[in-house]
Amino acid sequence: MLYTTAEPARVTGEDVRHLVFFSDLGISLNKVIQQKITSGDKVLLRGGRLGRAEFIHDGVEFAFEKLQEPPGSTELICRSANPLPAVFDRRVQEALRFMTFSQVSWSVSQRISNGSLTIALAATPSSPSGVLPSPIPEHEGQDFWRLFCCFLDHVCRHPETETHHRLTANLTLLLGLQKIQIETVALALGVATEGILNSEHPSLATPATKFLAVLAQLDKLASRIKCEYPKLKVRVQGAIRAMSERRPKDALLYLRERGIISKDQFKAWDELRNSAAHAAVIDEDNLQERITQCFKLYELILILTFLAVGYTGKYRQTSLPGWPIGVFEKTAADLAPIVSDSAKLE
């Protein structure tokens, strides 16, 4: 990446970010660009094309535009009267990656802040679209940009300038997944699920104090056992102590019990996780079933993400045939209380 800094010719007092993506971003557009072709004083052609998206969020003006030169490019200009975070460019890119579910990256970044102009150039190799669709279709404009803003707000809370937010890091495994072996897709989905549970929902379904007290008594009893096989005793105590930690299964059972995820989505995670963990080979007769389970698990991942960023609204229901548009209405309030006794025993 190449950086250069200079004094701008005109200082506006605004904090401005100008990002150019050498790719045709799959975003929702809401403004028509007027076009006119002339020859001398004569107008040969007049018309317009849907090529812009404009909105204001938290005092920041966003203006996306599909460029004709270079073909297939997209630019974004953000303006704010207040200083934008130093990591704003990176976090916008993270939000766009989630919204398009692809490895999009800006190639040119111009930043005007505190009277200085900083230009950065980055090599951005093209990446083909993956097998997983975007969370919301482009034509759902209002909800598309609402989810973008929710995700952006969430990841902007991560202050490190050189690293992605943990949510983005967990989702990166899934961006651009190609038509490779289904076992590989299933493994990536399983890893992303557990990563998001750990990073975004660490306190969900943690064991209750009473439950932990019972485990402590069992551990104490196990320590007194005289065993001919010392390693067996160690394994018994290890199993008891492991039950004091929240398993991914505990959290998903908790969500299933409260109707936040479906029984089918939980089953898809459970079966795909077991088959991937034990390196089970999927035969051709079960291939379609496994593909369907992968898309059910993908919807589960979207739900975990929506809960993390505080989004409610429309989205693709990839658990259902044809991926119809559904409405997600659950919030963090639906998670309380967040301790669990029963889940540990299943």
Say what the pLDDT of residue 205 is.
81
Quickly tell me which residue has 């800006």 as its tokens.
106
Question: pLDDT tens, 77-108?
Answer: 999 999 998 889 999 999 999 999 999 999 99
Alpha carbon 288 to its chain's center: 26
- Kindly write down the DSSP assignment for every residue of 241-255, as one continuous string: HHTTSPPHHHHHHHH
pLDDT value of residue 262: 96
Which tokens hold the place of 253? 């059972």
Amino acid (1-letter code) at residue 205: A
Q: Work out the average pLDDT over 110-117.
A: 84
Predicted local confidence at residue 280, as pLDDT: 62
Mean pLDDT for all residues in the chain: 85
Evaluate if residue 345 carries a pLDDT over 60. Answer: no
Task: Determine the pLDDT at residue 254.
Answer: 92
- Backbone Cα Rg of the chain: 25
Q: Which amino acid is at 66?
A: K
Residue 8: predicted pLDDT:
46
Residue 261: count of CB within 10 angstroms of its CB: 24
d(Cα 24, Cα 138) in Å, to the nearest integer?
Answer: 13
In 3D space, the residue among 250, 324, 248, 261 whose CA is nearest the CA of residue 297 turns out to be: 261
What digits encode the pLDDT tens for the residues 239-270?
A: 877 777 788 999 999 999 999 999 999 999 99
Instruction: Say if strands 206-207 and 339-340 run parallel, antiparallel, or are unpaired.
Output: parallel
| pTM confidence score | 0.85
The answer to whether the beta carbons of residues 188 and 131 sit under 8 Å apart is: no
Largest CA distance in the chain: 101
Upstream peptide bond of 70 is cis (omega within 30 degrees of 0) = yes
Q: Give 23-60 pLDDT, tens digit per residue.
A: 889 999 988 887 666 666 776 666 678 889 999 999 99
Q: What was the pLDDT predicted at 4?
A: 47
pLDDT of the residue at 295: 96
